[in-house]
Amino acid sequence: MALRLLLVRHAETDWNRARRYQGWQDTPLSEAGRGQAEAVGRLLAGERFAAVWSSPLGRARETASIIAAKQALSVREAPAFKEMRFGDWEGLTSAEVSARFPGLYQNWRDTPHLVTVPGGETLGDVQKRVLAGLAELRAAHDGEMICLVAHGISARILILEALGLGLDRVWSLEIAPTGVSELEFRGDWAAVHRMNSLVHLDRVAGRA
C-alpha cells in the first residue's frame, strides 16, 4: 500500500501573526494569507492529485479550496486533521499564556508530550486521531498522490510519523504557513522527500 502525500499547512491568519492560539477557533485567512494560498496553489498546479483533503476549519478549507480550484477538484474534509484543541488557551497570545499559566507554559515548551492544556487535548490525543485519519487516506488512495491541508500540530505529527520520531520531538520541526512537505508511505516504510518548502513565497508581499 503506497501513498504520496503533499502536506500543506494552512496560510496565515491575523492570529498567526499575533502568535495567538487558534486551536478549534474558525479564524479566516488574512490578506497576506490569501496571497500565500494563491502562491502555493500556483506551485502545486502542475501536480496531478487524485484528491485534495482538508481539515474542516475555515483557514485550512480556504487554503485547500484555492489549491483544488487550480486542478478543477472539490475539497474533501477530514476532521481527523484539525488543529490541536487548546481549550482555555484559545484566543490568547503566547505572552498571555506564559503570564497566566507560567509553569504549564514552560512545560509545554520543554516537555510538550506530557502536558494537558485545561479544556484541551494532549498531543497523544491528537496523534491518535491523526494516525487514524492517515490510515483511512492510505486505504482510500493506494498508489495515488493527494494533497492535505492541515495545521501546525497535526502536520508535525504526520512528519514525525514518517521520520519514526516521538511526540517529544514536536518542536524539532518548523512548519510555517503554506509550508509544503512531501511524504511517502509504503507498506511499513516511510520517507520525507521535502519539508516546509517555502520557495513559492519568495515574491509574496507581506511575508512574515
Q: Is residue 63 part of a domain?
A: yes
Q: In the chain, what's the furthest Cα-to-Cα distance?
A: 49
Residue 207 lies in a domain: no
pTM for this one?
0.95
Residue at 208 is within a domain: no
**Domain that residue 39 falls in:** 2-200
Catalytic residue annotation: 10, 83
What CATH number does the domain containing 106 carry? Answer: 3.40.50.1240
Instruction: Write down the residue that cell numbers 511575508 correspond to.
Output: 207
pLDDT in tens, the chain (208 residues): 799 999 999 999 999 999 999 999 999 999 999 999 999 999 999 999 999 999 999 999 999 999 999 999 999 999 999 999 999 999 999 999 999 999 999 999 999 999 999 999 999 999 999 999 999 999 999 999 999 999 999 999 999 999 999 999 999 999 999 999 999 999 999 999 999 999 999 877 544 4
Give the helix ranges, DSSP H, for 45-164: 58-69, 94-100, 102-110, 123-140, 152-163
In whole angstroms, give the CA distance from residue 16 to residue 32: 11
Q: Is residue 87 part of a domain?
A: yes
Whether the CB-CB separation of 40 and 182 falls below 8 Å is answered with: no
Give pLDDT tens digits for 15-67. 999 999 999 999 999 999 999 999 999 999 999 999 999 999 999 999 999 99
Domains held by the chain: number: 1
Tell how far CA 89 is from the center of its chain.
Answer: 19
Does any domain span residue 205? Answer: no
